[in-house]
């Protein structure tokens, strides 16, 4: 049975994708759900969040990197063979990590070159273009995971096209600003074009070759409010956040929506996450999610209260995503907006 793949993506940077994937992975682990976190961003920030410097030094030695995502696709780049057996770094019992690698950027050109060649109905290009999907499903099968969470970089290049076409669902993290709205207007048409182009290619695939369906089902959006934006005028914030529901529905889902619907009433909004500014450095130093901070980590008084609130909110967020992707093993909740702290 295939593990469902949910990608977190926005072609605008700085909206909290990596932090969202990191905290959701830990929350699913707490709930007894086995998670594979796939770091497909060449910046490898998710790997740096999960692993300490000593572990990263071991995984990124001088020379080849056989235990990273780049090591998996290197035979395709070198034209020496198919994907390598993926290494999954065990973060804890219920969390495995496909380790990111800055060298993955070297895969951008081969993916770009193989995209037009896949119209020729030959097997080679399809093996390259399905590489991420096959790596994730292979790793998920080996470690019996229930869900795959994918972190991606902020661009519309060949690596992200391949990763997104390997995903069953896509969650879009947003900030309430003009840049996010412009990103949505670019994102939706690009998604539809890629999906249509992949469907055309699937009709030309060689017989017997298993490939991702390229559904990229838009699961919804998460609004993330970051500390550097909290000093913006309230009027500006309200203006941008009020426009999100209509722009997301029209541009990403290709549907019209009731004009003037609020984020709080929009079922496409999975969560509205507030920023726990003082907890972030504390959690980074303790190398744990904010909702696992204890008094020994410095979370006392109001910090302790905020950490407990974050646990409740991320629990709700994780369950709501589970409901929307039909993930068994969790009690489903009614679709409600989660107000959490990141």
pLDDT of 46: 97
User: DSSP secondary structure string, 27-69?
Assistant: HHHHTT--EEEEE--TT-HHHHHHS-HHHHHHHS-SS--TTSH
pLDDT at 67 over 80: yes
pLDDT at 326 over 60: yes
Encode pLDDT of 179-232 as tens digits. 888 889 999 999 999 999 999 999 988 888 899 999 999 999 999 875 444 455
Q: Checking DSSP bridges between strand 338-341 and strand 147-151, what pairing results, if any? A: unpaired
pLDDT of 228: 46
Task: Show Cβ contacts of residue 4 under 8 Å, excluding neighbours closer than 6 positions.
Answer: 147, 148, 168, 169, 325, 326, 327
pLDDT of 216: 96
Q: How confident is the model at residue 336 (pLDDT cuts 50, 70, 90)?
A: very low
pLDDT of 227: 47
Tell me the CA distances in angstroms from 76 to 99, 132, 156, 164, one per residue in order: 18, 11, 22, 19
β-partners of residue 148 are 5, 36
Encode pLDDT of 260-308 as tens digits. 788 888 999 999 887 776 788 888 888 999 999 999 988 898 888 888 8
pLDDT of 274: 75
Residue with tokens 């609004």: 223
Tell me the C-alpha distance between 196 and 10, whole Å: 20
Q: Which domains does the chain have, with CATH numbers?
A: 5-341 (3.40.50.300)
pLDDT at 1 over 60: yes
Residue with tokens 């619907």: 261
Q: What is the SS3 assignment for 127? A: helix
Q: Checking DSSP bridges between strand 95-98 and strand 89-92, what pairing results, if any? A: antiparallel
Q: Which of 160-169, 234-243, 283-292 has the highest mean pLDDT?
A: 160-169
Tell me the C-alpha distance between 205 and 139, whole Å: 24
């Amino acid at each position: 049975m295939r593990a469902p793949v949910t990608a977190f993506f926005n072609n605008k940077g700085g909206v909290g994708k990596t932090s969202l994937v990191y905290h959701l992975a830990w929350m699913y682990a707490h709930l007894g759900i086995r998670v594979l976190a796939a770091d497909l961003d060449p910046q490898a920030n998710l790997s740096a969040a999960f692993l300490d410097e000593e572990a990263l030094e071991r995984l990124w030695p001088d020379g080849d990197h056989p235990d990273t995502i780049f090591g998996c696709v290197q035979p395709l780049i070198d034209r020496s063979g198919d994907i390598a057996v993926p290494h999954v770094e065990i973060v804890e019992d219920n969390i495995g990590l496909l380790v990111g690698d800055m060298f993955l950027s070297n895969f951008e050109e081969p993916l770009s070159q193989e995209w037009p060649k896949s119209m020729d109905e030959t097997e080679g290009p399809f093996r390259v273009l399905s590489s991420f999907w096959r790596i994730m499903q292979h790793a998920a099968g080996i470690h019996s995971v229930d869900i795959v969470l994918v972190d991606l970089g902020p661009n519309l290049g060949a690596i992200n096209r391949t990763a997104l076409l390997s995903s069953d669902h896509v969650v879009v993290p947003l900030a309430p600003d003009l840049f996010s709205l412009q990103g949505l207007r670019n994102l939706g048409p690009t998604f539809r074009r890629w999906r249509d182009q992949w469907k055309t290619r699937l009709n030309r695939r060689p017989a017997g070759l298993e490939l991702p369906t390229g559904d990229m089902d838009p699961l919804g959006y998460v609004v993330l409010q970051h500390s550097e934006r909290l000093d913006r005028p309230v009027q500006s914030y309200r203006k941008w956040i009020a426009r999100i529901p209509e722009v997301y529905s029209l541009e990403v889902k290709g549907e019209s929506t009731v004009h003037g619907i609020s984020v709080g009433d929009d079922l496409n909004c999975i969560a509205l996450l507030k920023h726990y500014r003082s907890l972030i450095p504390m959690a980074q130093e303790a190398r744990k999610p904010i909702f696992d901070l204890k008094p020994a980590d410095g979370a006392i008084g109001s910090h302790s209260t905020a950490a407990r609130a974050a646990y409740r909110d991320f629990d709700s967020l994780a369950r709501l995503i589970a409901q929307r992707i039909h993930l068994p093993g969790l009690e489903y909740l009614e679709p409600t907006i989660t107000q959490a702290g990141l």
